[in-house]
Amino acid sequence: MEDSIKHLEKKFGHDIKKGDKLNCLWKDEKYYACEIIDVRHNNAKRISEFYIHYVDFDRRLDQWVGIDSFSKEDLETKHQNPAASTTSTEKRSDKMRTRGATSLAEPAPHDEHEIKVRNVEKISIGPFEVETWYHSPYPAEYGEQKLLHICHYCLKYMRKKKTALKHKEKCDRTCPPGRKIYEDGNILNDDADEDAFRPENTPEAVAVYEIDGKDAKLYCQNLCLIAKLFLDHKTLFYDVTPFNFYVLTEKQPDGYQIAGYFSKEKHQHYNTNLACIMVLPQYQRRGYGKFLISLSYELSKREDKIGTPE
């Protein structure tokens, strides 16, 4: 198999560039149109890999593939006419690269049409390893990780498992910062899907914490970074001080573990219940999203305001 890939790469590898459009094999064994977003060399396997976006598919399906995933007919056509499938997107991709790594101190301008390479493949949070969906601007030294370790309680992110285990021994936090505003022992919502994932350790309760972005800036920034891994169109707020965050947790024997959240502006120009909402994939289909939206309406009622989600 490797010999076949190396043979294809030797013949066609130099023909494929960012911005090219080819047909690529999907899990259903059918070929679909895709666009080359980036190219990298895998030193371990000594082959090139291509980051592709399937045209008209959700960006969460973007992935790295080998040259053997492309239609051989397309490769032959490209080899005979190297400039045939080069598009203006190549210029856009080059523009992305020149911006460099995004830092928390200096956010790059947001382009809603820009397709970024997913920089973290998985996160380890609590007992779960979760595949990510989208790019999130973690600092460069953390952003190029196949597996990023995140503390379930303080949301600190770490590159190595060894570091995460040491942190777990020292971390004295057992719940989000802020004020607990809700707790209920009836944790399995009636709206949850029957085939939704059920944890081995059934939570004792669900609880919601209200957190002022001004008082817990680092925690809220880390929360936004996690949310960006699973929300394509989220604008990451580097300045979290104008927002309150309402963090939904599951109560386990060792503490309150984050399951999702929504944010809300403190001083609103428009009457909106929430600015952003996210439930982590491993907690979805349990009715938590509906619960958070309902909670946002109840908070608006207490403020004597009539609002809708942003």
Q: Give the residue numbers annotated as catalytic, written as ranges.
A: 310
Nearest to 279 by CA among 217, 194, 206, 180: 206
Q: Which amino acid is at 263?
A: S
Q: Are 33 and 21 in contact (CB under 8 A)?
A: yes
Q: What are phi and psi of 255, to 5 degrees?
A: 150, -170
